[in-house]
Structure 1
């Protein structure tokens, strides 16, 4: 513990780092869920043998026309559970890694160190969040199927029960490898670039929401470009059906090979616009909510009026 003028400086307890990390992700998900649905529909477009959508706008118009506005929030319960598991774990672990680094090296971590910590936090979080990820993808893609082929999960709890009953508990971790791989890439780029951009923008902006927004916006763009191919592979594996004991894809590499052969290289970034629109605001809102919750906790609970919310 650090001492300031002979008085022990209070710090945010570890359990609150998890709580605030998960809460920030859940709040952001409530805002960007429609974009996640559009991105998912674009990524699985073509898996039924035809190209269902030409653009994100066409997805949106068809969903609104055929399914109604509330269908944009299909899978929200799974999205919230995903954030409660994945984001809680990754942001909590990352905050603890950050505190450990600062305690042992008495300095802020370098970009390389930040990216390394992000990889570990992402992998840890993705493993625990994979079951909710499977439920989320299936619930968002269900309405595009013929009525007789739909799974019709009532909510994320119903999805878990039926997946375990019909396919076995291992099915909850279907697509885990690309999910973990994507999370490692996302966290390496997202957390590393966010810290780097904050440092760069500090020369022009004071600590506060404008600085956090600017850094998160750039971080979201870089993260989208880097993670989309693995995100596409994850999405297709998690929603695929096993017909007569034979799965549609054997793994991540198989998905990417088939997409390259049948749909072209640019299909790797299919759904880029809604993914960016989803990733950008989600990154922004997650970090801004997290920074503000940290600031509020330190001010109102710990009584630290001078704390930098980033620290």
Structure 2
């Protein structure tokens, strides 16, 4: 009879979740940066600052240098260390709580747990989200309007000093909405696509199955969540000291009137190409952390 699988303590699940997110963002940060830049393009006018994602990438490399694709990377790491650590840690903890006599939660309950975890992650991770959005979009501003944050902690300190500590949680409501939508859509679409792929008998459990299911789930999640993400991005990039509008409703109507309905899906390609690989990579790293703990831990 096989020995029971070693149980991983809850604190380690939080730690491994954040670590997996940090490892994944090493690869997808440039895509996130381009998504953010495209969402901010045409702000307030009906125009296309960049025709395609490739056009934007060439523009950044040519005008700012190759390393500019990693602008705001410290904020990206901080975002994973806060939001992802909380989200995955809370979800796995709740999953264990609601697993009774070996019976795991059903799909609807999993979606609900994911939404709760997303809300918790939003509350903890919004300050990092604000700094990340500002740092990744700073170079698209005229030189005299750039904030020029040195790193994420410099950004946090200056935001508190110049705009007040409440600005750390600017856009909290749309951030929570975005994370609820992402977690709900991602979990349900991943589960369903994985089941359908297995029924074709061309797939079996493994990295290929997880990759394909994650890319499908990423597409569904992107279509549903990108409009919320764009509004959140616009809110968090505004500075109250410059008279910026921070009420989501006028921002939504403003985008619709001045930029058109399709503006809500600006940056779709890098957004989708970020969510899919990020999901795959984060879970691969997470499983490796779990495997290493079970192999080397003496607990």
Q: TM-score range by the shorter chain?
A: over 0.9
Q: Alpha carbons of 1:121 and 1:12: their partners in 2 closer, same or farther (altered >3 Å)?
A: same
| Whole-Å separation in 1 of the counterparts to 2:250 and 2:55 | 28
Worse-superposed segment, 8-17 or 80-89: 8-17
| Whole-Å separation in 1 of the counterparts to 2:196 and 2:288 | 21
Q: How do 1:258-277 residues align onto structure 2 when only pairs under 5 Å count?
A: 258-277=254-273
1:252 Cα deviation after fit: 2.0
| Whole-Å separation in 2 of the counterparts to 1:33 and 1:250 | 26
Pair 1:11 & 2:7 matched: yes
1:243 Cα deviation after fit: 5.1
Give the aligned partner of residue 214 of structure 1: 212
1:48 Cα deviation after fit: 6.3
Pick aligned residue for 2:131 from 135, 141, 145: 135
Give the aligned partner of residue 51 of structure 2: 54
> For 2:98, what is the secondary structure of its paired residue?
helix
| Whole-Å separation in 1 of the counterparts to 2:107 and 2:189 | 8
> For 1:108, what is the secondary structure of its paired residue?
coil
Listed one character per residue, the Cα deviations across residues 157-180 of structure 1 (whole Å, up to 9, x for unaligned) are: 100110001111100001111111
1:105 Cα deviation after fit: 5.8
Note the residue ranges of structure 2 that are not aligned, 5 or more in a row: none
Moved over 6 A (4+): none
Pair 1:38 & 2:34 matched: yes
Q: How do 1:214-293 residues align onto structure 2 when only pairs under 5 Å count?
A: 214-242=212-240, 246-247=243-244, 249-293=245-289
TM-score normalised to structure 2 length:
0.92
Pick aligned residue for 1:194 from 184, 190, 195: 190
Give the aligned partner of residue 86 of structure 1: 83
Give the aligned partner of residue 290 of structure 2: 294
| Whole-Å separation in 2 of the counterparts to 1:29 and 1:185 | 21
Pair 1:183 & 2:185 matched: no
Listed one character per residue, the Cα deviations across residues 24-69 of structure 1 (whole Å, up to 9, x for unaligned) are: 1111111011111110111010126454222222211211111001
| Whole-Å separation in 2 of the counterparts to 1:51 and 1:243 | 27
Count the aligned residue pairs. 296
For the Cα contact (< 8 Å) 1:24–1:287, is it kept in 2?
yes
Aligned-residue CA RMSD (Å): 2.0
For the Cα contact (< 8 Å) 1:137–1:235, is it kept in 2?
yes
Q: Alpha carbons of 1:259 and 1:10: their partners in 2 closer, same or farther (altered >3 Å)?
A: same
